[in-house]
C-alpha cells in the first residue's frame, strides 16, 4: 500500500486539478481532499455541490483517492463572523486572507496530517523557497495571477509543509495542460469573489446580517446630496450603487465614496475619481505578521500593495514597539481602505503584512461640522 505523502486541496477548479496532475506525474504519492467551507443557505448561489462533483471527477480521471471535510463551522467562526463585524464597524475586510490563514493552511493542514500526510499542495499561484534555513513566500512567475497577496499571513511552519505546483506556470499553460490531459475542469470558468456570496447581489446578501440603516449622503463640506441605505454597504472609492445622477447645483461628473462616519451614519461623497479626499500617503496598521518570524529591521524601505494586483508602490516602513506599522508611501495612494491588507515585498519576496487601521486621508483626520443644507 502506497503511503500518501501529500494531500492536494481539490477545489473543483482547473488550478487545483492541474496541481494534482503535475504532482501525480512527478510520482509524488498524493490524494485529494475537498473542503466544504460554507453551509448551503438555500439560495442556490454557492456552487459548492457542483465543485464537489468536479473534484470527484478529476480525482477519478487521475486515479487518485479523494477525502472530504466539512469546515463550515470553522469558516463561520474564524472568517465569516469577522467579516460581518468588520463591515458593521465601517471597515472593508478581506475574507480571502483570513480563509487562507484559518482554513486552508490550518484546518486543512491538520486534516492532511490526520490522514498521515506530511504536507499539502494547492492550486495557488505562488512559490516557496528555502534561503539559509528560512522559508520564503515568493511571487508567482505569472505576475497577473500571483496570489502571494492573499497568502501573506502564512508562517514558517505552513510554508515548510506546502507545495505550490503552479508557481512557475502562466494561466494559459495551465489551461493547455488540463485540456491535453482531458480533465473535466479544463474549460471551467474561474471562480470570482467569495463562495458565500456567489453571483448574488452583494448588498442584498449583506442586508441579511446587517439590516438597512438609512442616512444622509453629504459632500465633504457638509451639503446633503442624497440618502444611503447603510454606510456599511459601501467602501472607499466606490462608484456603483450611489444613485446620484443629476444632482442640482453640481456638474455631471460621477460621484465616489470618500468617507464614512459610522457613529453618525453619514456617507461622504465627492465627484471625480481623482478627488483629493480619496488620496492619502500614510497608513497605520494593526499588528503586523512577518513570514520570517520578525521584521527585516525596525525601519526599512520596500514596496507594498494595498490591494490585489496593484502595481508595487515604494514606501518607508517604521515598526513600532507594539508591532504595528507606520507606512509612508513615496506617492499618494487612492482609496487606501481601513480593513484591507497592506502587504510588503522585497522584490519577489513577500515579507508579510498587516490590516490597515487608519490613514491620513482628509476625512479620517477631521470631519467637517454638519451643514443641514440640502442641494438646491
Catalytic (active-site) positions: 99, 195
Instruction: Tell me how far apart the alpha carbons of residues 188 and 55 are, in angstroms, rounded to a whole number.
Output: 12
Pairwise CA distance, residues 198 & 347, whole Å: 34
Q: Is the dihedral of CA 203, 207, 210, 211 positive or negative?
A: positive
Q: Which residues pair with 9 in a beta bridge?
A: 33
C-alpha cell read off for 137: 513566500
H or E stretch covering 325: strand 325-334
How far is residue 184 from each of residues 12, 29, 232, 370, 371, measured CA to CA in Å?
Answer: 10, 22, 40, 59, 60
314 grid coordinates: 515604494
3-state secondary structure of 180: helix
Cα(98)–Cα(95) distance, rounded to whole angstroms?
5
Residue of 306, 241, 318 lying closest to 278 (CA atoms): 306
Amino acid at each position: 500500500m502506497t503511503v500518501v505523502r501529500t494531500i492536494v486541496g481539490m477545489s473543483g477548479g482547473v488550478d487545483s486539478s492541474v496541481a494534482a496532475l503535475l504532482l501525480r506525474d512527478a510520482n509524488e504519492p498524493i490524494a485529494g481532499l475537498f473542503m466544504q467551507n460554507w453551509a448551503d443557505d438555500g439560495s442556490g448561489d454557492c456552487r459548492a455541490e457542483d465543485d464537489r462533483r468536479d473534484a470527484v471527477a478529476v480525482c477519478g480521471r487521475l486515479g487518485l483517492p479523494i477525502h472530504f471535510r466539512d469546515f463550515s463551522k470553522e469558516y463561520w467562526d474564524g472568517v465569516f463572523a469577522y467579516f460581518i463585524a468588520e463591515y458593521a464597524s465601517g471597515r472593508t475586510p478581506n475574507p480571502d486572507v483570513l480563509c487562507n490563514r484559518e482554513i486552508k493552511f490550518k484546518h486543512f493542514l491538520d486534516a492532511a496530517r490526520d490522514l498521515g500526510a506530511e504536507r499539502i499542495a494547492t492550486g495557488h499561484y505562488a512559490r516557496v523557497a528555502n534561503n539559509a534555513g528560512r522559508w520564503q513566500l515568493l511571487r508567482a512567475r505569472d505576475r497577473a495571477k500571483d496570489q502571494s497577496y492573499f497568502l501573506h499571513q502564512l508562517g514558517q511552519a505552513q510554508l515548510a509543509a506546502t507545495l505550490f505546483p503552479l508557481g512557475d506556470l502562466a494561466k494559459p499553460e495551465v489551461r493547455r495542460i488540463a485540456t491535453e490531459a482531458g480533465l473535466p475542469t479544463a474549460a471551467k470558468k474561474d471562480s470570482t469573489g467569495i463562495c458565500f456570496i456567489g453571483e448574488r447581489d452583494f448588498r442584498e446578501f449583506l442586508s441579511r446580517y446587517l439590516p438597512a440603516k438609512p442616512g444622509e449622503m453629504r459632500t465633504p463640506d457638509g451639503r446633503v446630496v442624497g440618502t444611503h441605505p447603510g454606510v456599511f454597504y459601501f467602501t472607499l472609492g466606490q462608484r456603483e450603487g450611489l444613485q446620484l445622477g443629476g444632482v442640482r447645483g453640481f456638474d455631471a461628473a460621477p460621484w465616489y465614496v470618500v468617507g464614512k462616519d459610522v457613529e453618525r451614519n453619514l456617507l461622504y461623497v465627492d465627484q471625480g475619481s481623482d478627488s483629493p479626499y480619496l488620496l492619502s500617503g500614510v497608513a497605520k496598521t494593526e499588528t503586523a505578521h512577518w513570514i520570517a518570524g520578525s521584521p527585516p529591521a525596525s525601519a526599512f524601505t520596500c514596496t507594498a500593495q494595498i490591494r490585489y494586483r496593484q502595481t508595487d508602490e515604494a514606501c518607508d516602513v517604521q515598526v513600532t514597539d507594539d508591532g504595528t506599522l507606520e507606512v509612508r508611501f513615496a506617492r499618494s495612494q487612492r482609496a487606501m481602505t481601513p480593513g484591507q491588507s497592506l502587504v510588503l515585498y522585497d522584490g519577489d519576496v513577500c515579507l508579510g503584512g498587516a490590516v490597515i487601521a487608519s490613514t491620513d486621508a482628509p476625512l479620517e483626520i477631521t470631519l467637517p461640522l454638519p451643514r443641514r443644507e440640502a442641494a438646491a
